[in-house]
Amino acid sequence: MFMNRIFKQFGDCKVSITTSYGPDFIKYLNRVIVFPPQPNCDKTLVYENVSKAGFRAQKSYNRDRAFAVMLDNSIIEVLHQADIVFFAPQQPIYTKSYIESVVDNLKKGALKVLLPQGFYRNFDSDNNVLVREFSEAKEILPLMDIVIVSEQDSPDMVQQAKGWSSSMNVMPVVTLGAKGAIAFKKGGKILLPAIPVPEEDIIDSVGSGDIFSASFAYKYKQTNNLEEAGRFANAVARQCLFYKSEDIKIDLSKLQ
């Protein structure tokens, strides 16, 4: 949903979203193409950020309502046309066989991007979000072209990413906040620096990871160049820091 805002700014993109959701989510779907077109469960998965004394924790509700949507003819038709497909589970619900069923319906050359944050989440009986190991990585990552993670997803995220690139045919990108990002290709490290913004000048940093991911995949699909994709994504994410998340404006003329 957040990435859809970014692609609309680029002007030449059509976004379709496949997800499980309830009637409570309909009010957010203005001019959004979603499959199925009607709610497929009674409530929507919800994450809540809880901040106390500078420490942020998360809670999650309605987890049993979230599931991987089975492919019907309408979804398969969309997949056949897609240039970029993002796999973005909000909890560890995607199996290897499910992802394979999606990949089998993609056209040749479609870019497959995994945002695996949900695989790093576990939950306790009080709905608190806990850290989880991405135990499915070895069987899922080889199905992807690019995997984009945050350094905050796991304590040793950079080392994990380097290992993935050495042992699997996937290109990991790790976002590093104000420092930009780092990419790995066949074990080699590629720095993707950003121009930092002073904290007092930041209006809103919500969704920065989604902004980077959408922009990176968009430019990489065009150029097949990691450095250029990183430069573009960091520049877009930087522009967005000066707006509230609902008022994002991207000046494409300054990104050439």
Domain residue ranges of the chain, discontinuous segments joined by +? 2-13+82-254
pLDDT confidence of 17, banded at 50, 70, 90? very high
Asked if residue 51 has pLDDT above 80, the reply is no
pLDDT confidence of 54, banded at 50, 70, 90? low
Asked if residue 109 has pLDDT above 70, the reply is yes
Asked if residue 53 has pLDDT above 70, the reply is no
**pLDDT at 6 (0 to 100):** 93
What percentage of the chain has pLDDT greater than the value 70?
99
Contact 238, 197 (CB under 8 A): yes
DSSP 218: H
Mean pLDDT for the stretch of residues 59-70: 94
**pLDDT: is 57 or 7 the higher one?**
7
Nearest CA-CA partner of 13 in 164, 205, 219: 219
Could you tell me which residues come within 8 angstroms of residue 96 by beta carbon, excluding any fewer than 6 positions away? Answer: 136, 139, 140, 143
**pLDDT at 56 (0 to 100):** 74
DSSP 135: T
pLDDT confidence of 27, banded at 50, 70, 90? very high
pLDDT confidence of 255, banded at 50, 70, 90? confident
Tell me how far apart the alpha carbons of residues 191 and 227 are, in angstroms, rounded to a whole number.
8
pLDDT tens digits along 185-241: 988 999 999 998 888 999 988 788 999 999 999 999 999 999 999 999 999 999 999
**pLDDT at 69 (0 to 100):** 95
Tell me how far apart the alpha carbons of residues 158 and 151 are, in angstroms, rounded to a whole number.
7
Mean pLDDT for the stretch of residues 4-20: 93
**pLDDT at 57 (0 to 100):** 84
Mean pLDDT for the stretch of residues 54-60: 82
Tell me how far apart the alpha carbons of residues 123 and 132 are, in angstroms, rounded to a whole number.
9
**pLDDT: is 50 or 240 the higher one?**
240
Token reading at 186: 């066949």
Asked if residue 157 has pLDDT above 80, the reply is yes
Protein fold of 2-13+82-254: UDP-N-acetylmuramoyl-L-alanine:D-glutamate ligase (3.40.1190)
**DSSP labels for 18-70?**
E----GGGGGG-TT-EEESSS--SSS--EEEEEEETTEEEEEEE-GGG--PPP
pTM of the model: 0.94
pLDDT tens digits along 85-99: 999 999 999 999 999
Asked if residue 147 has pLDDT above 90, the reply is yes
What stretch of H or E contains 118?
A: none
